[in-house]
C-alpha cells in the first residue's frame, strides 16, 4: 500500500498512530472527490495502491467511496472491500421491526427534493432506514408524523457501540416526545416501519391532512 486516503486526515492520523501505521495520508472527502478521482485512477493505473478509510462507519455508506470504486471498475482496476462497522445494521436489529426486506435512504435532502422523497415513501412497505443529525432529529420526526401518521412505529438509535448508546422504540408520537424533551448528541439512525399492506390502497395520512386543510380554506 502506497497511500491511505482519509476523510479527515487529522482524525484518521490518531488511529493510524495508535496502530503504528506510518504510510502517507491524503484527504479524500465529499468536497474534493469529484476533482481528484481521475488523478487517483491515473496513479492506480500506474501501479500505485491505495487504502480508503472514513471517520466512522464503512466507506460508501453515506461516506465518500462510490465515485472512486466506480472509476476503478470502469478502468478494470481491482477493488477489495473489507467489512467494517456500519451503523444501520445494529440499528435495524435493535429496532424490532421487520428486517427481511428494508430500504436504506441515508440522509434526506435538506431542502430541494425532501418533500418529494417523503411523498414517495408514504406507501413504502419495507422497513426504512435513515441517517440524521442530532440538530435535525426532532424536526424530521415531526415531518414523519405529518407524512406517515403519529402511530407509525419507529426506532431511534444514538451513539451506537459507544459509552452513551441509546435505543428508543415506539410510535412516532412517543419517540418525538421523548427526544424533544432532551438534549440530543451523537450520530443518529432512524428506523421507520413500512406501510401496512392493508392500508396501502387507502388514502394516506398525508393526503387526508391536505384534504382537511383544503376544506378549511
- For residue 82, the model assigns a pLDDT of 86
Res 209: pLDDT: 59
Q: Enter the C-alpha cell of residue 197.
A: 399492506
Give the pLDDT score at 111.
87
How far lies 196's CA from each of 124, 200, 215, in Å? 9, 6, 27
- Domains located in the chain, CATH noted: 3-74 (3.40.1010.10), 88-216 (3.30.950.10)
- The per-residue pLDDT for 196 is 86
Let me know if 188 is exposed, middle or buried by CB neighbors in 10 A (0-12, 13-18, 19+): buried
The tens place of each residue's pLDDT in the chain, 217 residues long, gives 899 999 999 989 998 999 999 999 999 998 999 999 999 999 999 999 999 998 878 888 888 899 999 999 999 999 999 877 789 999 999 999 999 999 999 999 998 999 999 999 999 999 999 999 999 999 999 999 999 999 999 999 999 988 899 999 999 999 999 999 999 999 999 999 999 876 664 455 656 555 554 544 4
Nearest to 86 by CA among 186, 15, 169, 189: 189
Show the CA angle centred on residue 59, arms to residues 162 and 96, nearest 5°: 50
Q: Residue 55 has what pLDDT?
A: 84
Instruction: Kindly report the length of the chain.
Output: 217
Amino acid at each position: 500500500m502506497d497511500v491511505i486516503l482519509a476523510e479527515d486526515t487529522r482524525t484518521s492520523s490518531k488511529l493510524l498512530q495508535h496502530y503504528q501505521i506510518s504510510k502517507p495520508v491524503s484527504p479524500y472527502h465529499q468536497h474534493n472527490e469529484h476533482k481528484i478521482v481521475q488523478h487517483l485512477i491515473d496513479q492506480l493505473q500506474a501501479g500505485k495502491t491505495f487504502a480508503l478509510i472514513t471517520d466512522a462507519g464503512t466507506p460508501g455508506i453515506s461516506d465518500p467511496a462510490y465515485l472512486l470504486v466506480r472509476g476503478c471498475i470502469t478502468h478494470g482496476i481491482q477493488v477489495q472491500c473489507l467489512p467494517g462497522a456500519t451503523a444501520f445494521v445494529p440499528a435495524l436489529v435493535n429496532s424490532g421491526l421487520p428486517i427481511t426486506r428494508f430500504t436504506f435512504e441515508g440522509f434526506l435532502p435538506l431542502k430541494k427534493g425532501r418533500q418529494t422523497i417523503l411523498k414517495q415513501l408514504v406507501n413504502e412497505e419495507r422497513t426504512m432506514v435513515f441517517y440524521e443529525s442530532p440538530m435535525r432529529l426532532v424536526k424530521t420526526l415531526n415531518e414523519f408524523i405529518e407524512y406517515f401518521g403519529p402511530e407509525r412505529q419507529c426506532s431511534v438509535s444514538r451513539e451506537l457501540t459507544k459509552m452513551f448508546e441509546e435505543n428508543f422504540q415506539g410510535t412516532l408520537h412517543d419517540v418525538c416526545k421523548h427526544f424533544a424533551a432532551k438534549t440530543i448528541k451523537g450520530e443518529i439512525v432512524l428506523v421507520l416501519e413500512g406501510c401496512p399492506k392493508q392500508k396501502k390502497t387507502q388514502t394516506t395520512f398525508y393526503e387526508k391532512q391536505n384534504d382537511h386543510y383544503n376544506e378549511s380554506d
